[in-house]
């Protein structure tokens, strides 16, 4: 059975979260829309398959809803990203939030496809947003996926479906 289980991360998961983030992003710091996050210190959802870490989603809850700060599938195209995104949306709606959002970069065509296929809509483009983020995190490469120069940030969002979610205190 290859079922993917998603659960909230606990302090015991911290070392492997640091390891996964470092492998994916070079360090645990993630920068977007002018904000520098240490993703290893954020609340997180872990995906596991056969007891092994299969993916990670970190998030931040603020006045604009639940922001997905990072999402990574260890093995791609096996349903891990979908399971994580669905779990984050369920969490947001259960908390009574109306919006899940995230930033991706102009080169990340795979992620743009992934998010839009899962119902997310492009909310805006910040021209030069990646260039600004690079000043906060110089390790952000100049050239990204498919040899595309990385310059701009794209905001995508998903709104709470009418009638879903049970508001919880806190």
Instruction: Return the H-helix or E-strand segment holding 48.
Output: strand 44-49
Q: How far is the CB of 127 from ligand COA (least distance, A)?
A: 18
Smaller CB separation from ligand COA, 56 or 97: 56
Q: How far is the CB of 161 from ligand COA (least distance, A)?
A: 19
Q: How far is the CB of 87 from ligand COA (least distance, A)?
A: 12
Smaller CB separation from ligand COA, 146 or 170: 146
Q: What's the DSSP call for residue 149?
A: B
As given in the structure block, the two tokens for residue 114 are 């992934």
The residue at minimum Cβ distance from ligand COA is 81
Smaller CB separation from ligand COA, 93 or 153: 153
Phi, psi of 16 (to 5 degrees): -80, -25
- Cβ 106 vs Cβ 140: under 8 Å: no
Phi, psi of 93 (to 5 degrees): -65, -40
Q: How far is the CB of 32 from ligand COA (least distance, A)?
A: 9
Question: How many beta carbons lie within 10 A of that of residue 138, not counting itself?
Answer: 6
Residues contributing to the site for ligand COA (CB under 6 A): 24, 71-73, 76-82, 104, 108, 110-111, 113-114, 117
- Cβ 100 vs Cβ 88: under 8 Å: yes
Smaller CB separation from ligand COA, 5 or 96: 5
């Amino acid at each position: 059975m290859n079922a993917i289980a998603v659960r909230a991360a606990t302090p015991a998961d911290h070392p492997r979260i640091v390891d996964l983030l470092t492998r994916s992003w070079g360090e645990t710091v993630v920068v977007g829309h002018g904000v520098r996050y240490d993703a290893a210190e954020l609340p997180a959802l872990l995906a596991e398959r056969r007891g092994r870490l299969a993916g990670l989603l970190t998030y931040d809850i603020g006045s604009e809803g639940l922001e997905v700060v990072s999402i990574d599938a260890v093995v791609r195209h096996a349903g891990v990203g979908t399971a994580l995104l669905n779990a984050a949306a369920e969490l947001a709606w259960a908390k009574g939030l109306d919006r899940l959002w995230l930033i991706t970069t102009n080169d990340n065509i795979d992620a743009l496809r992934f998010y839009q296929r899962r119902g997310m809509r492009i909310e805006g483009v910040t021209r030069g947003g990646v260039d600004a983020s690079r000043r906060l995190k110089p390790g952000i490469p100049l050239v990204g996926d498919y040899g595309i120069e990385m310059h701009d940030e794209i905001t995508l969002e998903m709104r709470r479906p009418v009638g879903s979610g049970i508001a919880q205190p806190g």
